[in-house]
Amino acid sequence: MVPPTSTTDTETTRADEFTARRFDFIVVGGGTAGLVVAARLAENSALTVGVLEAGAAVGEDGKDDEGNIRIPGCFGQTLGGSHDWQFETVSQPGLGGRQLPWPRGKVLGGTSVLNFMTWNRASREDYDAWEALGNPGWGWDSLLPCFKQSETFHPPPPEIRDRYPVAYDPSAFGDSGPIHISHCREFTTSHGLWHATLNSLGVETNEAHFAGSNVGVWTNVCSINPDTAVRSYAVDYCRRLDGSSPTNLHILTGASVQEIVLTKKDEEWAATGVRFIHRGREFVASVSREVILSAGSVQSPQILELSGVGRPDVLSAAGVPVKVKSPNVGDNLQDHIMLAMIFEIDPSIANPDDLKCDDVAAASAREQYLQHRSGPLTILPSSMVYLPLSHFMPGDALATIASKVGGLTSIPAEQRHIMQRRFDSDAKKLGQVEFIFDLGNWSPYFQPNPADGKKYGTMLLILQHPFSRGSIHICPANNSTNSSTPSSSSSPPGHPSNPDATSPENHPLIDPGYYAGPHGSLDLEIMTHCARFADHICRASPLSSIIRARVFPAPPTTTNTDDDASLRAWAVDTTVTDWHPVGTCAMGDVVDERLRVRGVRGLRVVDASVIPLQISAHLQATVYAIAEKGARMIAEDLAGG
């Protein structure tokens, strides 16, 4: 059942009721993956399924934020708010010591409530790489049915197809899944120039970007229900066609999980329940079959470690008894790396920033949306292109990077082999860098003067296959530097002196290792070439017809040049995350190919943390597919005894 929309003392009673039930399965984390798994398992009426979510349901906490969540054009406005865990990285030496915000959803629906609704897939080769790493059944052909099962694609109406390049392969999409996806019904002025500009630079329009190769220029698809013009997100899995929820699915919000209860059975550890805190009280919920951990790339490794599964040195430093030695829990962290280049544009062009600084325009846009489901608040970033590095990097530069990859001995040999292949002739099939152009200022580091009346556009450049590697681990108990703990052992901001490393609310140490070491230096070199091509795109016609000048980084002058050193310094000072962390409970390592935690019976991980090698796509659609496949595997194993 869906939780009530109030925060009264009856919630404590609900926690008592929750723990009194006899659960077959308990899902830890009611986010993008967790609700998929729970809802699919609940389709079997003979099973009783529970979900524990630390956040509230939308509207449950009394905050009037549903509009900012559901209205497409309000994307980003809930970041940093009550539905955000408000994580931060530790200081990043590769970024000049900066710490970055890492938004993750603390709400029923998880990050599918906070994201920017981008819906796409990586190329076939990205998923086949997972299988090549020793995970049978995780290649493109096996995953495609799971992608389709999650989605209902709404083809664009004729008036959109006639005005914009929204070509697609209908056979690649699903037509009966819980998540509604569609093209926007309106676009910015710049999008009308996007395809022609990239075509002029030798980039072909990809008319089948969902069918196994995302290379080329295309119009983005979003997780929007076009019938209502609202965000479609993971909670939609829990609703039947008549609006009801499965009676055998029980969701408890406001429940912070402390640990998975592990019990020794026949010399083997088994998951038998979950210990959690709800409204200041501790509870234990028991489970007869499995616990499914779907807390995401940040908190799935955290909860494993709090439960005694992980690196012995990390657990000992935190005062957690070691039950199962799993040396790579929390390691192998990979994230998409992003830069934002800002351009001054023609001031006559309507711009999303207008709604931020003009109350009348904002009120008018909201009224148009509420009355007609049209206008600026229906528009999302849609101008995308994925390119292989060979499209704009010189051959000698590619060869130099390829030669260095073999020396990255801290990366497993199987991963290195795949990374090296991305620099040979077949790599032309891979979208190794994503470029997105959108109106408005997207950079937190460029602060224009609103009084000057200027308008801006942003070119985002996002590295898809980073070499940078990092980790996420629980804090040492004393929060002090210790040679036996992970290299980043200082507490995150906001948690400077909490001695209780085993508190579920104590943020873990997030160290992505951006641009650090020999791995990161390769990323920095690649991003320098990406920045040059991003500038080149914006100087090409017809996009250049609306662009006045580049303003960030500052354009070249007699005293300021666009040499490699200047662009690298700008990248170090302004690189941010694209919020796509993966790999911290990787398949073939921490979990097996059926997502079972090695060394523990009755425990699986189903979320983005199981992705062993980063992909060239925004993660949302892939996480849904992983969850669909995980639910299938659980059902298969259940049927097989």
One-letter amino acid at 60 equals: E
Choose, from 209, 507, 519, 618, the residue flagged as catalytic: 618
Burial label, 378 (beta-carbon count in 10 A; 0-12, 13-18, 19+): buried
Beta partners for residue 342, in sequence order: 458, 552
Torsion region of 515: left, alpha or beta (phi above 0 gives left; psi -120 to 50 gives alpha): left
Tokens 């990077």: give the residue: 401
Question: What tokens appear for 363 in the block?
Answer: 């009120």
Torsion angles phi and psi, residue 328, rounded to 5: -110, 10
Inter-residue contact 48 to 23 (CB < 8 Å)? yes
Question: 271: how many CB neighbours lie within 10 A of its CB?
Answer: 24
* Residue 73 DSSP one-character state: G
Tell me 83's DSSP state: T
Please tell me the number of Cα atoms within 13 Å of 136 on its side-chain side.
Answer: 0
Please answer whether residues 127 and 434 qualify as being in contact, where contact means their C-beta atoms are separated by less than 8 angstroms. no
Beta bridge partners of 28: 52, 293
Find out whether the peptide bond into 376 is cis, omega within 30 degrees of 0: no
Binding-site residue positions for FAD: 107, 111, 257, 579-580
* 278 is a catalytic site residue: no
Distance (Å, whole) CA 259 – CA 274: 6
Q: Where are the beta strands (DSSP E) in 474-573?
A: 509-511, 547-552
Question: What is the C-alpha separation between 152 and 533, in angstroms, rounded?
Answer: 35
Going by the DSSP 8-state scheme, the letter that residue 204 receives in this structure is P
- What amino acid is encoded at 159 in this protein? E
CA 596 to chain centroid: 22
Q: Is 250 a catalytic residue?
A: no
Cα–Cα dist 73/62, whole Å: 22
CA distances from 246 to 25, 237, 603 (A): 15, 10, 24
Helix (H) or strand (E) holding 291: strand 281-293
- Token pair for 577: 């995350």
Which helix (H) or strand (E) element contains residue 364?
helix 359-372
Q: Which H or E run includes 521?
A: helix 517-538
Residue type, position 612, single letter:
P
Residue 434 vs residues 214, 456, 517: alpha-carbon distances, Å = 10, 20, 24
d(CA 42, CA 57): 19
* Cβ-contact 231, 109 below 8 angstroms: no
Helix axes 413-421, 124-132, angle to 10 degrees: 150
Annotated binding site: 107, 111, 257, 579-580
Catalytic residue, chosen from 180, 195, 250, 580, is 580
Cβ–Cβ contacts within 10 Å for residue 357, how many? 10
> Please, where are the H alpha helices in 63-166?
66-70, 124-132, 140-150, 158-163
d(CA 531, CA 543): 17
Q: Which residues pair with 339 in a beta bridge?
A: 461
Q: Which H or E run contains 87? A: strand 87-88
| Active site residue ranges | 580, 618
